[in-house]
């Protein structure tokens, strides 16, 4: 992430933003759009279940109305009381009568609960049904059905032969609806394929009957069957392409009697999935289009201009031409950045001009300074050296730059001095460096100074060889003057006894003495005079005379010098031959 360009970073950011927006919209559509379809599907399923229950209820209402029409009729009233066969012949003799009535059971009971008449009809096979006496008695003895005192209609569902059976009972009254009741009229209808087909035709739904003990019932339905309630229960389950509605009907005893299964294709949900898929595809292409358009706009409005600006800055940097300026037309942030860069270039150009002027001034100072100046880093590599430094060491101007001090001729000892200075932690130190190479015998005054904040070392070198020689000569002169003063004192002390010796020897020479003694005295006198001459010369050399100009005899001067240096030459086994022109003796 740290080595990619701004273009790539913006590409990644835009791509990530597009993916995030796509994901958010994708999830939002899934959570809202599809959930809306699910809710709509559930509403439709509930409406379909209501339609099925309405069809069943409508069937019971039709049977109730039919039962009421037959029960509140004078002929039926009379038939329940006397059981006359004319009623049967007139109304119930043909199968068409039962087909038109639309019931599977027609049962008339008197007030004693005795069966006056019963007959069954199979609407599927179009034949009569013979009900076992046991089943007939079960209906006849049911207090909820056979209850003459109950003035209302009783309708519901029971299990007959293990088959769901719709049943309706009505007290038999006169045509005016007056009593007392002479019995009970019971009508029933098996939920056979014909009536189920009628239900399916009416609701346009696939409806089937399931036994309450069917192993294929969902667990929710089985749990509902255990509950005790008088109302029908509705359970809706979902599969991938099908919704199944289970309607649990309870019989007139309050026990589960039958389960109606309603199969409802998930057309709404499937259409919703299709629409959502199209929406996802559209969203994908919209996201791609957004990404491409946004990337293109970012490229032409920002990246391209930034790239051009960067290239212009790079060209200025590569050519080090601070007089050139960048260009970014417009009045936006990039144009402002270009303007700021141009202002910075103006400042840099001005600063560079000032720095150049200062550098030239410093270079002039370094070039004209009589001392050698060199700047090194802490590794003793030369960063800067003036021409005096190169001339001092006999190097070509500029050749010492970037070299190590140890590699520069005659400065090997300087390396040790630099290391000692760096270890001392002092800010500045002055010392002397004695170079004793055969071709470079010099005494250098060296000053080391730390340059704060740069980790650099400033070294100045001065050739003090002449000064040292001058000091040595002055020291020697002082010593000679001291020797002269001491010799003057010694000569003065020797001069008196020598004068006495010379005087006494002169007196003894006038005495009448033996020849051998006279010769010794003459020798003493001669040597004493010679010693006196030496002392006189020492006094003359030691005394300071005022400088004045006067004629001298050159031969005499030479003879005096020869006499002064005679002893030194003798002990040094030096023979001096002197020949002088006699004309200079006067």
Q: Which residue has the tokens 């309870």?
A: 250
Query: pLDDT over 90 for what percent of the chain?
Result: 0
CA–CA distance from 102 to each of 166, 191, 194, 444 (Å)? 12, 12, 11, 141
Q: The domain 72-199 is classified under which CATH number: 1.10.10.350, 3.20.10.10, 3.30.450.20, 3.10.620.30?
A: 3.30.450.20
Q: Which residues contact 43 (CB under 8 A, 6 or more apart)?
A: none
Q: Is the confidence at residue 55, as pLDDT, over 70? A: yes
Q: What is the mean pLDDT of residues 426-441?
A: 78
- pTM for the model stands at 0.49
Kindly report the length of the chain.
586
Question: What pLDDT band is residue 356 in, cutting at 50, 70 and 90?
Answer: confident
Considering only CA atoms, which of 187, 147, 148 is closest in space to residue 62?
A: 187
pLDDT at 1: 47
CB 564 within 8 A of CB 556: no
pLDDT top residue among 359 and 3: 359
pLDDT score for 585:
52
pLDDT of residue 193: 81
User: What whole-number percentage of the chain has pLDDT above 70?
Assistant: 88
Across residues 514-530, what is the average pLDDT?
A: 77
What pLDDT sits at residue 141? 67
Per-residue confidence band for 148, with pLDDT thresholds at 50, 70 and 90:
low
Nearest to 88 by CA among 75, 101, 104, 99: 75
The DSSP code for 104 is: S
- Return the structure tokens found at 92: 């119930």
Tell me: the pLDDT tens digits for 284-324? Answer: 888 888 888 888 888 887 777 777 877 778 887 777 777 77
Q: Kindly list the distances between the CA atom of residue 338 and the CA atoms of 332, 345, 351, 396, in Å, as whole numbers in the listed order.
A: 10, 10, 19, 46
Same fold flag, 72-199 and 369-463:
yes
Query: For the chain, how big is the Rg over CA atoms in Å?
Result: 73
Q: With contact defined as beta carbons under 8 Å apart, do 185 and 279 qualify?
A: no
**8 A C-beta contact, residue 163 and residue 122:** no
* pLDDT, average across residues 336-360: 81
pLDDT at 521: 79
* Domain definitions of the chain by residue range: 72-199, 205-265, 322-360, 369-463, 549-586
* pLDDT, tens only, 450-496: 887 667 888 888 887 777 778 777 877 777 667 666 766 776 677 77
CB burial string 328-341: b at 16+ within 10 A, e below: beeeeebeeebeeb
Question: Reduced to 3 states, what is the DSSP secondary structure of residue 261?
Answer: strand
The span from the CA of 187 to the CA of 64, in Å, is 8
CA distance 293 to 307: 19
Predicted confidence at residue 375, as pLDDT, reads 87
Of residues 438 and 420, more confidently modeled: 420
Q: Does the structure show a pLDDT above 50 at 126? A: yes
Q: Tell me the mean pLDDT in the region 412-431.
A: 82
Selection from 367, 356, 264 nearest residue 48 by Cα: 264
DSSP annotation of 139: H
Q: Which CATH superfamily is domain 369-463 in?
A: PAS domain (3.30.450.20)
Instruction: Write out pLDDT tens, residues 3-13.
Output: 677 777 777 88
DSSP 80: H
- pLDDT for 185-238, tens place per residue? 888 888 888 888 888 888 888 888 888 778 888 887 777 777 756 556 788 887
What integer pLDDT is reported at residue 101 of this predicted model?
Answer: 66
Average pLDDT, stretch 122-131? Answer: 72
Asked if residue 136 lies in contact with residue 123, where contact means CB atoms within 8 angstroms, the answer is: no
The single-letter DSSP state of residue 544 is: -
């Amino acid at each position: 992430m740290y080595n990619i360009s701004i273009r790539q970073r913006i590409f990644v950011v835009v791509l990530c933003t597009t993916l995030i927006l796509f994901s958010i919209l994708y999830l939002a559509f899934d959570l809202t759009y599809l959930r809306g379809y699910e809710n709509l599907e559930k509403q439709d399923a509930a409406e379909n279940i209501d339609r099925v229950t309405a069809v069943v209820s409508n069937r019971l209402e039709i049977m109730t109305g039919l039962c009421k029409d037959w029960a509140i009729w004078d002929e039926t009233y009379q038939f329940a009381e006397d059981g006359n066969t004319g009623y049967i012949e007139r109304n119930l003799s043909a199968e068409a009568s039962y087909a038109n009535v639309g019931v599977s059971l027609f049962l008339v009971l008197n007030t004693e609960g005795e069966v006056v008449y019963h007959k069954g009809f199979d609407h599927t096979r179009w034949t009569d049904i013979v009900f076992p006496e046991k089943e007939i008695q079960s209906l006849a003895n049911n207090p909820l059905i056979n209850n003459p005192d109950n003035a209302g209609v009783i309708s519901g569902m029971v299990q007959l032969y293990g088959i769901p059976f719709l049943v309706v009972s009505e007290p038999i009254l006169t045509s005016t609806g007056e009593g007392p009741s002479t019995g009970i009229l019971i009508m029933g209808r098996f939920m056979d394929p014909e009536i189920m087909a009628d239900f399916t035709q009416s609701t346009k739904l696939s409806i089937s009957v399931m036994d309450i003990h069917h192993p294929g019932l969902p667990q929710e339905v089985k749990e509902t069957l255990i509950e005790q309630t008088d109302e029908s229960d509705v359970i809706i389950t979902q599969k991938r392409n099908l919704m199944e509605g289970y309607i649990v009907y309870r019989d007139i005893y309050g026990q589960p009697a039958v389960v109606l299964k309603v199969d409802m294709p998930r057309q709404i949900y499937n259409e919703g999935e299709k629409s959502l898929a199209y929406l996802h595809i559209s969203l994908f292409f919209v996201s791609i289009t957004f990404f491409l358009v946004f990337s293109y706009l970012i490229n032409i409005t920002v990246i391209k201009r930034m790239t051009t600006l960067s290239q212009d800055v790079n060209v200025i940097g590569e050519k080090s031409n601070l007089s050139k300026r960048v260009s970014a037309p417009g009045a936006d942030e990039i144009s402002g950045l270009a303007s700021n860069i141009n202002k910075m270039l103006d400042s840099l150009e001005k600063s560079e001009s000032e720095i150049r002027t200062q550098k030239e001034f410093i270079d002039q100072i370094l070039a004209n300074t009589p001392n050698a100046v060199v700047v090194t880093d802490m590794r003793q590599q030369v960063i800067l050296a003036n021409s005096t430094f190169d001339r001092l060491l006999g190097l070509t101007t500029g050749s010492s730059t970037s070299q190590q001090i140890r590699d520069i001729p005659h400065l090997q000892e300087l390396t040790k001095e630099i290391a000692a200075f760096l270890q001392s932690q002092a800010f500045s130190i002055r010392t002397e460096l004695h170079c004793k190479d055969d071709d470079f015998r010099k005494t250098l005054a060296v000053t080391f100074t730390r340059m704060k904040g740069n980790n650099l070392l400033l070294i100045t070198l001065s050739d003090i060889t002449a000064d040292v020689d001058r000091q040595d000569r002055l020291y020697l002169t002082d010593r000679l003057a001291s020797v002269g003063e001491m010799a003057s004192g010694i000569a003065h002390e020797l001069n008196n006894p020598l004068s006495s010796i010379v005087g006494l020897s002169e007196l003894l020479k006038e005495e009448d003495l033996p020849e051998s003694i006279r010769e010794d005295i003459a020798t003493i006198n001669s040597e004493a005079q010679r010693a006196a001459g030496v002392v006189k010369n020492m006094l003359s050399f030691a005394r300071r005379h005022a400088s004045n100009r006067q004629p001298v005899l050159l031969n005499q001067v030479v003879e005096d010098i020869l006499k002064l240096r005679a002893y030194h030459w003798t002990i040094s086994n030096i023979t001096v031959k002197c020949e002088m022109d006699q004309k200079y003796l006067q």
